[in-house]
Amino acid sequence: MHNPGLHLLDYLVVFGYLLFIVYLGTTFAKRQTGTDRYFKAGSSIPSWAVGLSILATLISSVTFLAYPGEGFDSNWIRLVQGLMVPIVLVFMVGFIVPLYRRVIGISAYEYFEKRFGYLARLYTSLAFAMAHFSKMGTVFFLLALALSSMMGFNIYLVIIVLGFVVILYTLLGGIEAVIWLDVIQGIMLFGGGLLCLGIMFATASGGPIEMIRFAASEGKIGFSPYDLDFTRLTFIVMALNGIFYAIHKYGTDQTIVQRYLTARSDKQAIKASLIGVFLCVPVWALFMFVGTSLFSYYAVTDVPLPPDMRPDAVFPYFITTQLPIGITGLILAGIAAAALSSLDSDLNSLAAVFTEDYYKRFKPSSTDKQRLFVGRVTVLVCGIGALGVAFIYVAAEGETVLAIIFTLYAIFSGGIAGLFLLGIFSRRTNKQGVYIGIVATVIFTAWGILTSITLGVAEKPLLDLGRFNYTHHSYMLGVYSHLVLFIVGYLTSYLFPRPETDKNFTIYGYMEKKKKGEI
């Protein structure tokens, strides 16, 4: 049953867009002759395209839908995390990008093995896989939930169609298809947000000035509360979370590190990273402001909202009821594009990690052709697996299963930014100390999660230790886990012999070369 608010032209626009990206993605298939091309594009992509791909990778349909919901319901406090990213990256990018391009082949986690041994590589690569596999299922579910309600299609059908599209062009076209389609999809995402904002400004009485004035008077513009309270969502909590998010994402995440390898030179890769991060902030801000504007739009116009509508459903409702014929289809295609640009990166990166960290390691005599085949099979298997996770979410209404998966991921993937900081800033830290730090982080994170979250209708946490329960905000748990690994790993390293650390794996080697003018 089709949504009566959509015109046939809107459906044709969405389906036409999906067919277009499948066609364009598969045109790269003949060029995928080896793993270097499939996972690194032969290091031939221009910096501006890599930068736009980083933007599209970091932005998903969650941004397109959740940020407007947050801006409608609250203020801009969740934007603080994104604002920290360029501040951190400006200090890191000049060292991180050349480091990875010099030290690793394809997998970011090769660095951790060279620095701290295979168990460090295993921990970080498994953490990446768990995080992004669960994320893919979540993105499929949330996107299908939105599009099925907006377009009137069965949610399972939407999941299958979108899954087929992204698996097909990622499997055949490799990282080149991913990057060039990300460029298109990033532009569609940003353009869709601007278009919606422009229509709101043009149709609301008083225009943008009145809408902004009204939002400010209602406390919708700002980053409060600013008090030093780690038990609530405050500015300082989001700022600290954003600092470690930036280190984790740009220093250890395969989907980003792999982009560094696709650029033509170190200089081009650094430029691409800066382009990506400085574009992300305006996009995050744009969609947060869309939510703020929606709040003002429905307050200053005579357009009614259905009673008891959830904040994250307001933007989809606006799209299907207030936009002109054809434009609605373009925005829906933009929502799909936002999700696909995140999913394709996850699929290609998961394939790269499995091929390099596991298959190649345990079958070193394999040919490059065999590794390419394994990489493609991994894309297919991970894609189908993510669809399965999305189906489970639908059957369980997204609650219990989602909570369990994210709980397990959070427990076993904490502290990776702390591990990365130990790697680049400490020459005294050894692998024994790091392994103790990893164990301590897993125990700490398990305690924090199990003593603070509840599943279903239970009022008590899963593990109730009374006054010894974790009571700070959940966002701080991520901050603490990185600090635990860093501090425990560093201090316990003094219990073991000093390692012979290759200074080229640390910032000190970089600084020495820079001082000599070699960089």
pLDDT digits (tens, 9 = 90+) for 339-368: 888 899 999 999 999 999 999 998 999 999
With a cut of 80, say whether residue 458 has pLDDT above it: no
pLDDT at 406: 46
pLDDT digits (tens, 9 = 90+) for 106-115: 999 999 999 9
pLDDT at 402: 42
| pLDDT higher at 409 or 104 | 104
pLDDT digits (tens, 9 = 90+) for 279-335: 888 989 999 999 999 999 998 888 888 888 888 888 888 988 888 888 889 888 888
57 pLDDT band, cuts 50/70/90, is confident
With a cut of 90, say whether residue 379 has pLDDT above it: yes
Is residue 332 within 8 A of residue 150, CB to CB? The reply is yes
pLDDT at 1: 37
State mean pLDDT over 378-407: 74
pLDDT at 2: 42
Q: b or e along 302-320 (b: 16 or more beta carbons within 10 Å of the residue's beta carbon)?
A: eeeeeeeeebbbbbbbbbb
Coil, helix or strand at residue 483: helix
C-alpha torsion sign, points 203, 206, 209, 212: negative
Q: What pTM did the predictor assign? A: 0.89
pLDDT at 187: 87
Rounded to whole angstroms, the Cα distance separating 215 from 292 reads: 7
CATH architecture, domain defined by 8-397? Up-down Bundle (1.20)
pLDDT at 40: 95
pLDDT at 61: 64
Q: What percent of the chain has pLDDT over 90?
A: 52
Per-domain boundaries in the chain: 8-397, 399-519
What tokens appear for 339 in the block? Answer: 């999700």
Average model confidence (pLDDT) across the chain: 88
Is residue 132 within 8 A of residue 249, CB to CB? The reply is no
| pLDDT higher at 468 or 185 | 468
- Residue 273: name the closest of 91, 419, 516 by CA: 91
Q: Kindly report the length of the chain.
A: 519
